[in-house]
Amino acid sequence: MKTLKLVDCLLKDVPRRLDSERPEGSEGPFVAVFSESVSSGKFCGLASPADKAAHPGWIYADLVEHHTAHVLSFKSSVAHALREMDQWKVDALPVLDQKGGFIGLVTRTCIMRALLQQESRLLRETHRLNQEIVHDKEELASWTFRLSSLHEASRTLSRVLSHTSLEADLLQHGIEALTQLLQARYGAIGIMDGKGELLSFHHTGMTEQQVADIGSFPEGRGLLGVVIREDTVLRLPELSRDPRSAGFPPGHPVMHSLLAVPISHGGKVYGRIYLCEKWEGKEFIEEDELLAKSFANSLSMVLENAREMREMQQAQQHLDYLAHFDVLTGLPNRRLIEDRLRQVLANSQRHGRKMALMFIDLDNFKGGQ
């Protein structure tokens, strides 16, 4: 298998902004800053969530100029990128082409996602080679079709993990791909809220009629509750033999084998992933568990990043409000008009344009009875 290269880990869909612009709440965690033009202008640097949180109200030119810019060449190795991140204590580094143009950024999560995809390809290849030894030509033809499906499932997982926020359709695509990749008949992802209640539930492998017959989502009183409460992995060949199993509701298909992993990060559990009934009655193996845990870990980091971004944005919005508005009346203050004037002056100087400021004095303008 070929050596993993930096271009294999590249995150290309990075928001691009001009250096004269100000951060907005709808942007992603990292923003590429350019002068003159976002498509053909000079790359000025990378604005991180920490930059925006530490300096609310700053324009991008100020955000990227106050610290040293560290960049990577597209020819750099993955190991070199990780060493640079450790040395400079950063979570992401911009990658430039041979002409110095910005082509994307690389993060630890991107590298882990690429390694996960490479690992899944290796597992599939190993399985295919073993099957060539023990099966005849007809069985090999069947496995060729199956491996093609697994390859597509792996690609889907990679697309899911490339997002910085988890929406319902991404979670649905993710559990469908993981279930197919691990050759399970049923699979589900349950996301919990801060109180431990089921916030969203995404499943695959059952018909609409089967779902209607069950009538409710898992309550977590049995083994699935153990996964959440104890933040632990369960891999069981026979569910009915475990004393912690609370059984299934009426109408639920019969299930035997189970692989369940928590979606957790730093001691905080965000939810659970579980898969049941491996194809052909086989048991889930250690490699299946490792792959499911890697996927769950990636989801947990995306959820943790989303939580931190929400907190940063709320704090930044509050600080920005306190700096530019009167708390008692809610009216804009002197600092806000000074800030707007500085922006207009800077913009006019950059582009060689003239500006004018008009003062209007209103006599006896005040509140009262």
What are the start-end ranges of the E strands in the chain?
16-18, 31-35, 42-47, 72-73, 92-96, 102-107, 184-192, 198-204, 234-236, 258-265, 268-278
Low-confidence ranges of the chain (pLDDT < 50): 143, 164, 368-369
Look at residue 223 in the predicted model and tell me its pLDDT.
79
Distances (CA, A) of 338 to 19, 213, 324, 353: 19, 65, 10, 19
pLDDT at 118: 79
Edge-to-edge strands of the sheet including 102-107? 72-73, 92-96, 102-107
Letter string b/e over residues 139-159, b meaning 16 or more CB atoms within 10 A of that residue's CB: eeeebeebeeebeebbebbee
Alpha helices, H only, 162-265: 168-181, 208-214, 223-230
Return the pLDDT at 34: 94
Residue 222's identity, in one-letter code, is G
Paired strand residues for 43: 34
Rounded CA-CA distance 190/229 in Å is 14
Q: Look at the alpha carbons of 194, 198, 202, 203 in this order and tell me if their dihedral is positive or negative.
A: positive
**CB–CB of 263/273 below 8 Å?**
yes
Upper half-sphere CA count for residue 190 (Cβ side, 13 Å): 21
Q: Supply φ then ψ for residue 198, to 5 degrees.
A: -70, 115
Q: Say what angle helices 108-134 and 286-324 make with each other, to 10 degrees.
A: 160
Q: Which residues lie below 8 Å from residue 7, measured CB to CB, with a gap of 6+?
A: 74
Residue 287 has a pLDDT of: 83
Most distant CA atoms of the chain, gap in Å: 97
| pTM score | 0.46
User: Which stretch of DSSP H or E encloses residue 325?
Assistant: none
Please name the residues in contact with 153: beta carbons below 8 A apart, sequence gap of 6 or more. 176, 177, 178, 180, 181
Q: Tell me how far apart the alpha carbons of residues 35 and 21 are, in angstroms, rounded to a whole number.
A: 10
Q: Decide if 307 contacts 47 (C-beta within 8 A).
A: no
Query: Cα separation of 111 and 82, whole Å?
Result: 9
pLDDT given for residue 119 in this prediction: 77
Q: Give the type of residue at 320.
A: D
Closest CA to 188 of 198, 176, 180, 199: 176
Looking at residue 369, its pLDDT comes to 46
